[in-house]
């Protein structure tokens, strides 16, 4: 009933030559939680504003629930939104801010009060209901913006970094809370964030954006484990994926940092045809294991920096002149300068084309 | 204290002295202080009609000016093609003095003015718009001239006020289902309150002082309070009664300003 279908959206802001969104197509199923993830300035807000009807695209179309809404004004789209800037009305108390949309919808008074109380309770705003926004902290104001959006029961819920201004603890709390609420409401949700943990934990699917385009669209685990290109691998994950320059020889060996291991079948075959193939090897820090120097099947490396994180220890290592991050259990005792061997989890290695930066698959 | 002393002295001399001398003059007479000037003022046949005219003009003119100014400012905010040109065109009357404006409109409304030429060209009888016995049309003429001349002040203030309101609020209201009028009523106007308040106070006080336009258009036929001050001072050569009148205008202006401030008091402690 309220799936979103976005087709070939192009938008250039007046006075700018760059495309803020470049041919974005995206289908969000009814009730799906879709996260738009990407670095600052990649066009997430722009895309959301076009779905909301606050900006109109130069090209392309948007339909909600099968109805073409591309050029419809926002009030005719039955959606609600959390603005990146909050846009909490400064002249209204928290209570009437949260209830604004319901008043516009002419919801009966007692139902309105019940809903406002419910949302305020959920977002821990009850003590502040009779304050003006100027008397709130930034995080509280942001929660008012979220409360105002969730009371609407709209078909489509648009959220632009709704948790960005909360402290780490509160953010963790509200992340789970939000997931629960949205599931209850059943709204089709487009959620913008540049926090990849948030994206992973909340989404049914993630659309990773880069320079106005969708670089990869998929289930969060797929995007994490099988990034479509080097950008996605480098953007998602903390620490980001390691990238090492390597080469598959004609004989089918993978050479990294002057050392050699076995290359996967499909690469060996194409390397045999082309007489050697330069590749970019991608591996996540948690898929590398520490072994004694000289163990067969390991690469020689030297520990440079040891960073205990509590739940794990992050090591920065030198691998034949290239830097690599390795995550090991916090019980592992190593010190900088130590010479060790590294074993890569073969199943977790990803390969990327050195020219196009795109992932190479069988 | 010592540092600001010179400026206090200066301010006292600049503002205080004329005011004190004005007040003294208003209560002054041949034998010391008296309220005779006020009695004379109130007994003058023109006084009450000038008060009535002034109030009528204010009550009718100010709402018209605010609606017009707001509509023009909102049009500009919608940024149609050439909106900056509109802005300058609409702001031009700011630079026209009231007497000049009165004379401009006199060419329109006078017996052989543009309006009557137009009427004649379509075969209608000319009308004596500014004649003494034609109160309604006289009032309309003064009203139109004043609206033309002084709406731009409100307009400029409202445009400035609108520019300081981020678009987000209206956008948010739209997303939450508010149409144009709801957005205007629930979001734009409340956020514009400080500007509207300033404009209202300024405009009302200035409206009390309207007179050159009416003088140019109607001479003595449409008396206004400040026009009476002028008449007492220059025509009747009685500075004391003129001062009394001026004092009344000042008192009424101050009361109005305070009244507006109280009436439109912002309930939210920090409006932005
Ligand atoms: N009103 C505007 N006028 C001109 N250019 C704009 C405007 N708004 C955004 N842009 C440009 O469009 C591009 C995309 O901006 P957008 O706000 O969509 O980024 P974003 O992905 O939301 O970033 P962030 O995470 O920082 O919020 C940016 O390069 C930005 O400079
Ligand atoms: Mg943004």
* Strand pairing class (A322-329; A312-319): antiparallel
Inter-axis angle of helices B98-109 and B114-121, nearest 10: 20
At the fourth CATH level, the homologous superfamily of domain A242-360 is Nucleic acid-binding proteins (2.40.50.140)
Q: Return d(Cα A16, Cα A282) in angstroms, integer.
A: 36
- Measured between CA atoms, the residue of chain A closest to residue B183 is A104
Chain B interface test: which of A79, A102, A104 (most B C-beta within 10 Å)? A104
**Residues of chain A contacting residue B171, judged by C-beta atoms under 8 Å apart:** 54, 74, 83, 87
Ligand nearest to the CA of A18: 1
Q: Return d(Cα A129, Cα A117) in angstroms, integer.
A: 9
Q: Return d(Cα A7, Cα A250) in angstroms, integer.
A: 44
The pLDDT of residue B271 is: 45
Token pair belonging to B16: 């205080």
Distances A348 to A216, A288, B133, B179 between C-alpha atoms, Å:
19, 9, 99, 54
Q: Do B173 and A52 lie within an 8 Å CB cutoff?
A: no
| pLDDT band at residue B270 under the 50/70/90 scheme | very low
Instruction: Please give the backbone phi and psi of residue A331, each rounded to the nearest 5 degrees, phi first.
Output: -80, -15
Say if residue B272's pLDDT is above 60: no
Instruction: Please give the backbone phi and psi of residue A53, each rounded to the nearest 5 degrees, phi first.
Output: 90, 15
Task: Over range B91-99, report the average pLDDT.
Answer: 83
Task: Over range B194-201, report the average pLDDT.
Answer: 89
> What number does the ligand 1 atom closest to the CA of A212 have?
14
The pLDDT of residue B44 is: 80
* Interval B120-163: pLDDT, tens: 888 887 777 877 777 888 888 888 888 888 888 999 999 999 99
Q: Return d(Cα B75, Cα B161) in angstroms, integer.
A: 14
Chain A interface test: which of B177, B187, B192, B264 (most A C-beta within 10 Å)? B177
Chain centroid offset of residue A23 CA? 20
For B50-265, CATH gives 1.10.3720.10
3-state secondary structure of A290: strand
Q: A69 with A62: CB under 8 angstroms?
A: yes
Average pLDDT, chain A: 92
3-state secondary structure of B18: helix
| pLDDT band at residue B266 under the 50/70/90 scheme | low
Q: How far is the CA of A146 from the centre of ligand 1 (A)?
A: 22
The pLDDT of residue B208 is: 84
Instruction: Please give the backbone phi and psi of residue B218, each rounded to the nearest 5 degrees, phi first.
Output: -125, -5
Q: How far is the CA of B26 from the centre of ligand 1 (A)?
A: 65
Q: What is the DSSP letter of A186?
A: T
Instruction: Please give the backbone phi and psi of residue A150, each rounded to the nearest 5 degrees, phi first.
Output: -80, -20
Task: Mark which residues 26-85 of A lie under 8 Å from B by CB.
Answer: 52-54, 73-75, 79-81, 83, 85
Which top CATH class is A4-232?
alpha beta
Gap from B240 CA to chain A (nearest CA, Å): 48
The pLDDT of residue A237 is: 87
Q: How far is the CA of A132 from the centre of ligand 1 (A)?
A: 29
Q: From start to end of A29-149, where are the E strands?
A: 33-37, 59-64, 67-68, 79-82
Chain centroid offset of residue B14 CA? 25
The domain segmentation of chain A, as residue ranges, is 4-232, 242-360
Q: Return d(Cα A264, Cα A214) in angstroms, integer.
A: 29
R_g of chain A computed on alpha carbons: 24
Q: From start to end of chain B, where are the E strands?
A: 28-29, 32-33
| pLDDT band at residue B220 under the 50/70/90 scheme | confident
Task: Over range B6-20, report the average pLDDT.
Answer: 82
Q: Which residues of chain A have pLDDT under 50?
A: none
Task: Over range B25-46, report the average pLDDT.
Answer: 77
> What number does the ligand 1 atom closest to the CA of A49 have?
18
- Give the range with max mean pLDDT: A205-219, B34-48, B244-258: A205-219
Q: B217 with B105: CB under 8 angstroms?
A: yes
Ligand nearest to the CA of B166: 1
């Amino acid at each position: 009933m309220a799936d979103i279908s976005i087709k070939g959206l192009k938008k250039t802001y007046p006075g700018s030559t760059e495309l803020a969104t470049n041919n974005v197509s995206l289908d969000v199923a009814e009730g799906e939680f879709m996260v738009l993830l990407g670095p600052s300035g990649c066009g997430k807000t722009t895309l959301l504003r076009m779905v909301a009807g606050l900006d109109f695209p130069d090209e392309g179309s948007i339909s909600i629930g099968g109805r073409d809404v591309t050029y419809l004004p926002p009030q005719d789209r039955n959606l609600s939104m959390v603005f990146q800037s909050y846009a909490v009305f400064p002249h209204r108390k928290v209570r009437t801010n949260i209830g604004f949309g319901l008043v516009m919808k002419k919801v009966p008074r007692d139902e309105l009060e019940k809903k406002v109380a419910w949302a305020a309770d959920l977002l821990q705003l009850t003590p502040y209901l009779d304050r003006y926004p100027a008397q709130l902290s930034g995080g509280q104001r942001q929660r008012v913006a979220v409360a105002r959006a969730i009371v609407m029961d709209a078909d489509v819920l648009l959220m632009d970094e709704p948790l960005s201004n909360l402290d780490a603890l509160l953010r963790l709390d509200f992340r789970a809370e939000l997931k629960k609420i949205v599931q209850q409401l059943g709204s089709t949700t487009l959620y913008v964030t540049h926090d990849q943990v948030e994206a992973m934990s909340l989404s049914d699917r993630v659309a990773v954006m880069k320079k106005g385009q969708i670089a990869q669209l998929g289930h969060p685990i797929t995007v994490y484990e099988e990034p479509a290109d080097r950008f996605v691998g480098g953007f998602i994950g903390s620490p980001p994926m390691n990238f090492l320059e390597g080469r598959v020889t004609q004989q089918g060996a993978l050479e990294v940092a002057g050392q050699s291991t076995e290359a996967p079948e499909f690469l060996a075959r194409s390397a045999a045809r082309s007489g050697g193939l330069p590749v970019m090897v991608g591996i996540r820090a948690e898929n590398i294991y520490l072994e004694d120097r000289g163990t067969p099947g390991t690469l020689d490396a030297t520990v440079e920096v040891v960073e205990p994180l509590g739940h794990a220890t992050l090591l920065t290592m030198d691998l034949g002149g290239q830097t690599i991050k390795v995550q090991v259990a916090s019980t592992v005792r190593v010190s900088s300068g130590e010479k060790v061997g590294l074993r890569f989890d073969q199943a977790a290695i990803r390969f990327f084309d050195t020219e196009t930066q795109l992932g190479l698959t069988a | 204290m010592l540092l600001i002393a010179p400026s206090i002295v200066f301010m006292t001399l600049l503002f205080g002295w004329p005011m004190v001398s004005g007040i003294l003059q208003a209560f002054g007479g041949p034998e010391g202080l008296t309220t005779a000037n006020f009695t004379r003022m109130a007994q003058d046949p023109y006084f009450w009609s000038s008060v009535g005219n002034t109030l009528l003009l204010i009550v009718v003119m100010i709402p018209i000016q605010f609606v017009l100014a707001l509509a023009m400012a909102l049009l500009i905010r919608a940024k149609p093609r050439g909106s900056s040109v509109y802005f300058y065109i609409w702001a031009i009357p700011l630079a026209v003095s009231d007497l000049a404006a009165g004379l401009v409109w006199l060419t329109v409304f006078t017996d052989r003015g543009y309006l009557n030429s137009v009427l004649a060209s379509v075969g209608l009888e000319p009308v004596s718009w500014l004649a003494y016995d034609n109160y309604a049309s006289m009032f309309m003429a003064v009203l139109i001239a004043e609206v033309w001349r002084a709406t731009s002040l409100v307009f400029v203030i409202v445009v400035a006020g609108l520019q300081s309101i981020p678009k987000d609020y209206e956008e948010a209201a739209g997303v939450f289902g508010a149409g144009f009028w709801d957005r205007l009523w629930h979001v734009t106007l409340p956020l514009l309150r400080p500007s509207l308040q300033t404009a209202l106070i300024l405009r009302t006080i200035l409206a009390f002082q309207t007179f050159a336009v009416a003088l140019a258009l109607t001479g003595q036929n449409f008396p206004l309070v400040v026009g009476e001050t002028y008449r007492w001072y220059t025509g009747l050569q009685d500075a004391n009664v003129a001062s009394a009148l001026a004092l009344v205008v000042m008192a009424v202006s101050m009361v109005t300003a305070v009244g507006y401030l109280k009436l439109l008091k912002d309930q939210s402690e920090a409006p932005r």
